[in-house]
Amino acid sequence: MPIGWASVKEEFTTDFHAGGTCAMILGMGTRKLALGAAGFALLLALNALAADVGHGSNRVQVAAVPATPSRLAAFRLAPGFRIELAAAEPMVSAPVALAFDENGRLFVAELPASPTGAQRPAQGRIRLLEAPDKNGVYQKSTIFAEDLSMPSAVACYAGGVFVGLTPEVQFLKSTKTEGIAEVKKVVLAGFGGTNAPSQRALLNNFNWGLQNRIYGATAGLGGVVISPNWPGNPISVGGCDFSFNPRTLAVVPEAGPAQSGLAFNNFGRLFGCDFSRPLRVAMCEPRYLGRNPFFPRAPWMIDAASPATALFGLLALPQQTGLSSPTRLTEVGGARQVSVQGAAWLTGARGCVVCRGNIFPPGYQGSVFVAVPDSHAIHRFVVHQDGLSISAQRPPEEPSSEFLVCSDPSFRPEQIVNGPDGALYVADRQDRSDHGRIYRIVPENFRRPALPQLGKASTYELVSDLAHADGWHRDTAARLLFERGDPAAIPLLTNMADHARLSLARLQALHTLSGLDALRQTQELRALSDPDPLLREHGVRLAEKLLTNGIPSDELWNALKPLATDPSIRVRYQLALTLGAVGLSEKPSILAQILKQDLANPWIQTAVLSSLAEGSAALFELLASDARFIRDPQGFEFLQQLACMIGTQGNKNEVAQVVNFITKARLERIVSYTALFKLGEGLRRTQSSLGLVDAQGLLQPFFFQALSDGTDANLSEPVRVAAVRLVSVSTLRFDETGDWLLLLCNPQPFPDLQQAAIDALGRYEDPRVLAGLLNSWSALTPSLRIRAVSALLSHTSRVAGVLAAIEAGKIAPTDLSWALINFLRTLPDPALSRRAVQLLGPVPLRRPEVAQRLQGALRLSGIADNGRSIFQARCAQCHQIAGNRQLPGPDLAGARTLSKAELLRNIIEPSANLAAGFQTVVVTTLEGESRVGVLADDNEVTLTLNEPGGARQVWPKLNVLSVVMQPWSLMPNGLGQGLSVQDMADLLSYLETAQP
């Protein structure tokens, strides 16, 4: 006999069991009861029995658990919304992930906390919830699968579920016993490599995407993924998230990695969140940037919102919850928290979802909701798109409050998903324990619809649902059409793609046709001319599927080419990315068209360069021949980057084409000199040179002319500097250039010329370079001396000589940058490093005397405007506030989440607590060259180094001997030198209040 739960009078529905369950009465349905003392005792006994049933051998429970008014009263929501209970203990426990199947059944991944001192993580389970009552409270709970190692993500497919069980993904399905899985198959493995999984970093947030794949966040685990379906083809997901085809299990690296959240909007735009970065957005797929790794690639994920944006509301939580005690800042585990009457408010984002439910008001659809469990809150972002840029701000109607906040500290939202009824469902893993609930957020006027039965829908009905106003229905219908693979769907989808009034329906139909391998050129051509730019954008991307060995049909190519001048930058951007798959000779001219329209946009530049695995030289010719393009400073800078990339690619034919062009084109001297220098710089990183590729000696006149121009006082400084730089990569020997370069090191009105001469000398490995520079030492300014030491130490063969010069007093310790001092202290040669430590002392991780001197800054009121000036002068070279530039130091947008004491400690003792991803590395090449910086990118072919000063260099790994991590920060310990206590107070004030 099933176990029934009866609702009871309100006075007996208070929290006497695990957060407010109600009485369990056998066989009495939902009748109300009047209980005396004996009845109440029975009530408690049966209630305890219910808990035992929920965790015992009986895998199926039938129950009705009404919401406890005292619990729901703890929530504060934005006006016009309410929160409802969908499931509570013992029907559910410790929920961390949710997924609805096509019939509205809810699969829940449950992950209890590991007991203190346990030898292995707590075992979790997948639970199936069914049969909600008229209030939407689930009445039936079945343990679908148990004894699972840390389940953390779930997605429905083909009557079963894919489950994230780090380091694996398994497929579970019930084929014999209703609601209990007996099919358990490992489909993917290898996430995280050999690292042991922890509950803080697990696979999470499985989502169905427009591309007919299941997407998942790796939490930065990395690893090399394998599958029984393709054991000989491992896929690296280092630095990425992933997607997989549920039919073939083929894995694709995706933009990421997201630590704790992943979601899509209606048009397939991917969002993610990290614990410290509340909302990030994907700018392109890794496959595009992976085609050409020979230029400094931009990250494929950027911040759409700064931590400071979310923090502003979190600091107002005491007022929002109605608690009157003052806010207090303390530290917990190294993070800043705001404590109010014992409740801790932190800013760690745990999960995100784009609201796609049709029951929400139009202003809320498309908003991103972020779960913040440590703050017991749900934050709402309004997303704005301006061209290629994406920004997310606090809603104007919620200026200083959260969309939802709970005064009960046990409320810890872990994931939010869109439900089949249009509502947002929240997995509440209470207080990191084995308790928990599932809530539903709905508008005040919400009326619950009947559960969908899409599993029984005909193919015609599923195609019709692609035009549904609700995102869950569209996604589920698309998934089912993909699962079934019914050929009868193709003409229906074709008709929808061609004639549907709603652009979302046309979009869904196009991608569903693509998933069924039924997309034809007719539909593709319609998409490329669609009045909606988002359809044109997706049409360009889908055109890649219609290429034959990189060649489009004439009709398709003629439809693609005009989009280079499309009014939408997103269409032009996608075209620049897609052209990388095209193998036609016209490709460079189309890329040039796109680039010239949006030259200032770094993502357009990135897209263009990513598409130049071949054809770089042809684009160089087109751009260098355009005088207007060259006169634009950004155009000239791009041409330099292109020339350096061509050299680093090392394609002899491309390099020869550029050399031949420059020798015949009669370009301005500064253009020729600069382009050849950048080309030679790139070749040097491949163990080649201009001399090796110029077998006919066509460049010799340029080299000798540059030697003359470098000392010609009648020429402008930029031309002379370009000439000196060209000499440094020429075939000229030190015997021919040494005295000339040392002469330019003498005092003169052009410091840039002195610097170029020092850099040029540093490229020679001749022993006379050290002696010559030391003889000129008195002529160098302090900053040029630092540059000279850097040039000398760039070759490992000169390290001993530099140490000897320091020992002899010819080079003072103040002539070395902080990075170079630490470089010497940690040399791999023990004898040399001991000499350096004797001269310069060990790496100082702690500086108590400086900390004591500046401690008073914590008690002073700072002036933020003064702090801004100090930041620009001392910090901006390596740090930014909520920007997306690639700099050696961390983004300081999150500084507002730190206390002043933490900020001061990080400034004074930067090496004591190195931020992940910003450790210093020393790269040594096969030719004995040493470079110091922070790794910005590390792939199978190249590595990119962010160097002090902001330079970014790409090195082919074929020329890399070693990459050694260092225990010290590039940030100098002496950054506070010369700052008064008030100056430091001003800087701290600016960092605490700085807005992006």
Instruction: Provide the pLDDT confidence category of residue 661 given band limits of 50, 70 and 90.
Output: very high
pLDDT tens profile 841-856? 887 767 667 767 777 7
Q: What is the pLDDT of residue 176?
A: 84
Give the pLDDT confidence of 726-755 residue by residue, as tens digits. 999 999 999 999 999 999 998 777 889 999
Exposed / middle / buried, residue 223 (Cβ in 10 Å: 0-12, 13-18, 19+): buried
Q: Measured between alpha carbons, how far is 572 from 601 in angstroms, rounded to an integer?
A: 12
Range of lowest pLDDT (234-238, 599-603, 728-732, 946-950):
946-950
Asked if residue 608 has pLDDT above 50, the reply is yes
pTM above 0.75, yes or no: yes
Q: With cut-offs at 50, 70 and 90, classify the pLDDT of residue 981.
A: confident
pLDDT at 598 over 80: yes
pLDDT band at 906 (very low <50, low <70, confident <90, very high): confident
- In the block, tokens 């370079």 appear at 769
What pLDDT sits at residue 458? Answer: 98
Q: Which residue(s) pair with 165 in the sheet? A: 168
Structure tokens belonging to residue 99:
């997924």
Q: What pLDDT is stored for residue 348 in this prediction?
A: 72
Mean pLDDT of 619-639: 97
* DSSP code, position 935: E
What is the crossing angle of helices 587-597 and 569-578, to 10°?
A: 150
One-letter amino acid of 825: R
- The mean pLDDT of 380-387, rounded to a whole number, is 92
Residue 171's beta-bridge partner residues? 162, 185
**Dihedral angle at the C-alpha atoms of 884, 889, 892, 895, nearest 10 degrees?**
150
Q: Is the pLDDT of residue 312 over 80?
A: no
Count of other CB atoms within 10 angstroms of residue 232: 5
SS (H, E, C) 227-292: CCCCCCCCEECCCCEEEECCCCCCEEEECCCCCCEEEECCCCCEEEECCCCCEEEECCCHHHHCCC
Average pLDDT over residues 859-878: 78
> Residue 748: is it exposed, middle or buried by C-beta count within 10 angstroms (0-12/13-18/19+)?
middle
Burial of 247 (0-12, 13-18, 19+ CB in 10 A): middle
List 438's β-bridge partners, or say none.
87, 427
What is the average per-residue pLDDT within 696-709? 96
Mean pLDDT, range 30-42, rounded to an integer? 36
Q: What pLDDT is stored for residue 311 in this prediction?
A: 44
Nearest to 517 by CA among 560, 488, 556, 546: 546
Please report, rounded to a whole number, the percentage of residues in the chain having pLDDT higher than 90: 66
**Could you please report the per-residue DSSP string of 102-119?**
TTS-EEEEE-PPPPTT-S
- pLDDT for res 843: 79
Q: Are 336 and 918 in contact (CB under 8 A)?
A: no
Q: Put residue 425 in one of left, alpha, beta given phi > 0 → left and psi -120 to 50 → alpha.
A: beta
pLDDT at 500 over 80: yes
Task: Choose the most confident range, by mean pLDDT, from 218-222, 387-391, 473-477, 867-871.
Answer: 473-477
Q: What is the pLDDT of residue 36?
A: 41
Q: Are 357 and 471 in contact (CB under 8 A)?
A: yes
Q: Find out whether the peptide bond into 602 is cis, omega within 30 degrees of 0.
A: no
Q: What is the pLDDT of residue 29?
A: 34
Place 894 in a pLDDT band, splitting at 50, 70 and 90.
low
User: How much is the pLDDT for 817?
Assistant: 87
CB of 572 closer than 8 Å to CB of 609: no
Q: Strands across the sheet with 241-244, in order? A: 204-208, 214-217, 241-244, 251-254
- Within 81-147, where are the H helices? none
Does the pLDDT value for residue 74 go beyond 80? yes
What pLDDT shows up at residue 886?
Answer: 66
Q: Which of 14-28, 542-556, 978-992 has the highest mean pLDDT?
A: 542-556
Structure confidence at residue 21 (pLDDT): 34
pLDDT greater than 70 at residue 814: yes
CA separation (Å) from 291 to 194, 241, 287, 652, 853?
28, 18, 7, 18, 52
pLDDT over 60 (residue 780): yes
Least confidently predicted of 7-16, 154-163, 239-248, 977-986: 7-16
CB 643 within 8 A of CB 722: no
Average pLDDT over residues 444-465: 96
pLDDT of residue 295: 95
CA 155 – CA 214 distance, rounded (Å): 8
- Relative orientation angle of helices 489-499 and 471-484, to the nearest 10 degrees: 140
Quote the pLDDT of residue 966.
Answer: 86
Q: Is the pLDDT of residue 124 over 50?
A: yes
- Tally of CA atoms within 13 A in the half-sphere of 371 that contains its CB: 28
Whole-number pLDDT of residue 727 = 97
Contact 579, 611 (CB under 8 A): yes
Q: Whole-number mean pLDDT of the chain?
A: 85
Confidence (pLDDT) at 581: 97
Expressed in angstroms, the distance from the first to the final Cα of the chain is 62
